[in-house]
């Protein structure tokens, strides 16, 4: 027997403002029941002596160390830009507002 009834699926769909057909409600009730059973079986196995994990493999930081370096030379960067003005990149106006 399903642990989620058609009425419960329809109620949750209504709360989420999802319009479901009766056939979709029947299908989702069965699919959600399988998910609920899977979660229940994992909950039975997860005892206090089993440590909780969020990932099956140990996670390590793969980023390089954050070491300060000299910044790029502004004049060299602006020299490579298509357009510059007053020490800044010059880009076309896109919002239609007065600058």
Which of 24, 25, 19 is CA-nearest to residue 7?
A: 25
Task: Report the CATH number of the 6-45 domain.
Answer: 1.10.20
Which of 6, 7, 13, 12 is CA-nearest to residue 27?
A: 6
Which of 32, 52, 48 is CA-nearest to residue 40?
A: 32
Residues 6+ apart with CB under 8 A from 92: none
Residue 93's Cβ-side half-sphere holds a number of Cα atoms within 13 Å equal to: 5
> Can you give the pLDDT at residue 93?
84
The pLDDT tens digits of the residues spanning 36-55 come to 999 888 878 777 787 777 77
% residues pLDDT > 70 (the chain):
95
Tokens of 23: 């056939």
């Amino acid at each position: 027997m399903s642990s989620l009834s058609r009425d419960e699926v329809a109620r949750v769909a209504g709360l989420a403002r999802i319009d479901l057909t009766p056939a979709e409600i029947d299908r989702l009730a069965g699919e959600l029941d399988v998910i609920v059973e899977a979660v229940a079986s994992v909950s039975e196995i997860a005892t206090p002596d089993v440590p909780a994990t969020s990932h099956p493999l140990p996670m390590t930081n793969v980023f390089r160390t954050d070491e300060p370096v000299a910044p790029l030379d502004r004049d060299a960067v602006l020299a490579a830009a298509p357009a510059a003005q007053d020490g800044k990149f010059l880009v076309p106006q896109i919002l239609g507002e007065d600058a």
